[in-house]
């Protein structure tokens, strides 16, 4: 036990070889990467205006992660302490779309790459993600037409069923009401879109609806 304590004490006495120029460059790369990932999200995510709050945190998360890993990579006690601290962290608001998790993982990956000064890996991650999203966007129309069953979930503070149904009919959308309910002074309507229509076109139709609503679109 004493030997372990001595080892930890020696490790804690080691000074961090601080190079402010390298640290500044790492944090700068991390911030630039955050801006690029924010651009990817807004240009390639199918429905970005529904989750813009998540992109606001990109510019804080990326430099923070880089700073944390720069601080702990030279200190075993700090690493163990951080591991214990993170075991208490809980996310109370779940992320509904798995694609958002992909953007967060990319953000974490480039932040760690910047913290370990692997700038080539950081650039490769961003370029690979960009070209992958570009190819997917190019062929998404064909993919969406193959998977034509879409579920449109709409939440509103007032009963807009008849008005919304007329709006969908006016835009030549073949739909069927799956369910409707009222919870906590909010109305929720779930529609099954049966017509061969791609997700982007359905988003445009819903965005043209004049009343204040929030919505999600799922593909089955």
pLDDT under 50: residue ranges of the chain: 8, 11, 13-14, 145-147
Residue 193: domain span: 147-219
- For residue 146, the model assigns a pLDDT of 47
Q: Please tell me whether residues 152 and 137 are part of one structural domain.
A: no
Contact 215, 153 (CB under 8 A): yes
- For residue 6, the model assigns a pLDDT of 60
Q: Please tell me whether residues 82 and 151 are part of one structural domain.
A: no
Q: Please tell me whether residues 119 and 34 are part of one structural domain.
A: yes
Prediction pTM value: 0.57
Q: How far, in Å, CA of 23 to CA of 67, rounded?
A: 8
Q: Please tell me whether residues 108 and 192 are part of one structural domain.
A: no
CATH code, domain with 189 = 3.30.70.240
Tally of domains within the chain = 2
Tokens at residue 83, please? Answer: 């591991």
Q: Please tell me whether residues 135 and 80 are part of one structural domain.
A: yes
Tens of pLDDT, residues 103-160: 889 999 999 999 889 999 999 999 999 999 888 877 765 555 444 567 777 888 777 7
Q: Please tell me whether residues 169 and 114 are part of one structural domain.
A: no
Contact 208, 215 (CB under 8 A): no
Q: Please tell me whether residues 52 and 135 are part of one structural domain.
A: yes
**Average pLDDT over the chain, rounded to an integer:** 75
């Amino acid at each position: 036990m004493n030997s372990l304590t001595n080892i930890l004490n020696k490790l804690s006495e080691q000074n961090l070889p601080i190079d402010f120029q390298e640290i500044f460059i790492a944090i700068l790369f991390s911030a630039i990467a955050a801006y690029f990932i924010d651009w990817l999200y807004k240009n390639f995510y199918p429905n970005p205006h529904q989750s813009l709050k998540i992109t606001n945190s990109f510019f804080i998360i990326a430099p923070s992660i880089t700073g944390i890993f720069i601080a702990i990579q030279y200190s075993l006690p700090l690493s163990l302490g951080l591991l214990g601290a993170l075991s208490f962290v809980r996310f109370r608001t779940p992320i509904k779309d798995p694609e958002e998790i992909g953007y967060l993982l990319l953000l974490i990956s480039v932040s760690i790459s910047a913290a370990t000064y692997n700038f080539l890996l950081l650039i490769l991650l961003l370029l690979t993600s960009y070209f992958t999203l570009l190819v997917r966007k190019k062929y998404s129309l064909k993919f969406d037409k193959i998977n034509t069953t879409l579920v449109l979930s709409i939440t509103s503070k007032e009963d807009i069923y008849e008005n919304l149904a007329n709006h969908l009919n006016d835009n030549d959308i073949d739909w069927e009401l799956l369910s409707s309910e009222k919870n906590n002074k909010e109305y929720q309507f779930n529609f099954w879109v049966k017509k061969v229509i791609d997700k982007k076109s359905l988003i445009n139709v819903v965005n043209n609806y004049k009343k204040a609503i929030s919505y999600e679109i799922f593909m089955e």
